[in-house]
Amino acid sequence: MATSAVSLDKLRPARPEDLDARIRAAKEKLGKRAIILGHHYQREEVYRHADVHGDSLMLSREAAQQDAEFIVFCGVHFMAEVADIMSRPEQVSILPDLAAGCSMADMADIAKVEQAWRELGQVLDPDESVTPVTYINSAADLKAFCGEHGGIVCTSSNATKILKWAFDRREKVLFFPDQHLGRWTGYQLGVPLEDMAIWDPDQPMGGLSPEEIRKARVLLWKGFCSVHQMFQPGHIDRWRAANPDGFVISHPESSFEVCLKSDFVGSTDFIIRTIKGAEPGTKWLVGTELNLVSRLAEEVKPEGKQVEFMSPMVCMCSTMFRIDPEHLAWALENLVEGKVVNQIKVPADEAELARVALQRMLDLS
Ligand code: 13P
Ligand code: SF4
Topology of the domain comprising 105-225:
Rossmann fold (3.40.50)
Is residue 329 a contact partner of residue 26, using CB atoms and an 8 Å limit? yes
Q: Of the candidates 281, 300, 298, 235, which has an alpha carbon nearest to the alpha carbon of residue 262?
A: 235
| Ligand 2 environment, Cβ below 6 A | 76, 102-104, 137, 225, 227, 253, 289, 317, 319-320
Q: What is the DSSP string of 118-165?
A: HHHTTTS-HHHHEEEEEESSS-HHHHHHHHHTT-EEE-TTTHHHHHHH
* Ligand 2 centroid, distance to 213 Cα (angstroms): 29
**Annotated domain spans of the chain:** 8-101+320-345, 105-225, 228-309
Q: What percent of the chain has pLDDT over 90?
A: 92
CATH architecture of 8-101+320-345: 3-Layer(aba) Sandwich (3.40)
Structure confidence at residue 315 (pLDDT): 79
pLDDT digits (tens, 9 = 90+) for 157-198: 999 999 999 999 999 999 999 999 999 999 999 999 999 999
* Ligand 1 centroid, distance to 211 Cα (angstroms): 34
pTM here is 0.95
Three-class SS state of 220: strand
* Ligand (nearest to CA of 291): 2
Q: Is the CB of 255 under 6 A from ligand 1?
A: no
Integer Cα distance of 130 and 43 in angstroms: 39
Terminal CA-to-CA distance of the chain, rounded, Å? Answer: 40
Structure confidence at residue 359 (pLDDT): 96
pLDDT digits (tens, 9 = 90+) for 244-292: 999 999 999 999 999 999 999 999 999 999 999 999 999 999 999 999 9
Number of other CB atoms surrounding residue 3 within 10 Å: 9
Mean pLDDT of the chain: 96
Pick the CATH number of 228-309 from 1.20.1070.10, 3.40.50.10800, 3.40.50.300, 3.30.930.10: 3.40.50.10800
- 8-101+320-345 and 228-309: identical CATH topology: yes
